[in-house]
Amino acid sequence: MKGHSDYINIEGAIGAGKTSLAKILAERLNARLILEETEANPFLPDFYKDRKRYAFQTQLFFLLSRHRQQQGLFAADLFHPKTISDYLFDKDRIFASVNLDEREFYLYEKLLSILGKELPQPDLVIYLQASSEILLKRIKKCGRPYEKNMDSDYVKALNEAFNHYFFHYAKTPLLVVNTDQIDLLHDKKNQSDLLTLIQTPFSGTKYYVPIGGE
C-alpha cells in the first residue's frame, strides 16, 4: 500500500456507528466502500432469539462471508485507489469469544487459523468507542427488528470484549475515537477533524476525543 490511509477499517461494537462513518468517509475521500453483509446472514434473527442455540451457525456465516470479501478486496479499481470497510476481519474472533462455548470456539479457531492466512492488513484502523449505555440507545434508535429487544448484559459483555481487544491492539496504526458526546453522521466539524487525522501518518495508537454534543 502506498499511503497511510489507502485501506481503512472502521470498528466498534454494535451501535457504534461504523457503517454510517464508513459511508461518509468513502464519499469524502472518493474511496471504494466495503460493507459487512450483516443483513444477508440468515441465522441472525434466530440468534437474537436464542443466542446459545444459533451462535455457531451465525458466527461461521459471518466468518466465511468476511473471508470471501477480503479475498477479492484488492481487485483493480482505477477510479477508487482508496478503500474503506466498516469491519476489521480480525474482530470476528471478538464475537466468537463472547458467543461460543468452549468446544465451538476450539473448532472456530481451527477454521480461523486457515482462513486468516495471507489476507490484506489495513493501513489504519479506526475504533469507535462508546459506553454501553450509549450503544443501547443507538441500537434502539436504529430500529432493526431483530435487535429491538437486545439484552443489555450482552451489549455490555461485547463492548468490554471490544475495549479489551483494542487496548492490546498493535498490528497497525490505530485511531481511537470517543463517540459518546457526538454524532459523526451530522457533525461536519468533527468529520473534517477526523479526515485530517486520517490523512496525517502516525504509528502506534492515537486518541481523538471530539468536542460536541448530541
What is the C-alpha separation between 212 and 57, in angstroms, rounded? 41
Distance of alpha carbon 17 from alpha carbon 126, whole angstroms: 11
Cell of 210: 471530539
* Residue 86 among the catalytic residues: yes
**Three-class secondary structure assignment of 171-214:** CCCEEEEECCCCCCCCCHHHHHHHHHHHCCCCCCEEEECCCCCC
Q: Using DSSP, state whether 122 is helix, strand or coil.
A: coil
Contacts for 110 with CB less than 8 Å, ≥ 6 apart: none
CA distance 107 to 100: 10
Query: Do residues 123 and 143 make contact, with C-beta atoms less than 8 angstroms apart?
Result: no
Instruction: Please say whether the beta carbons of 166 and 127 come within 8 A.
Output: yes
Q: Catalytic residue among 6, 50, 77, 86, which?
A: 86
Q: Which residues are catalytic?
A: 86
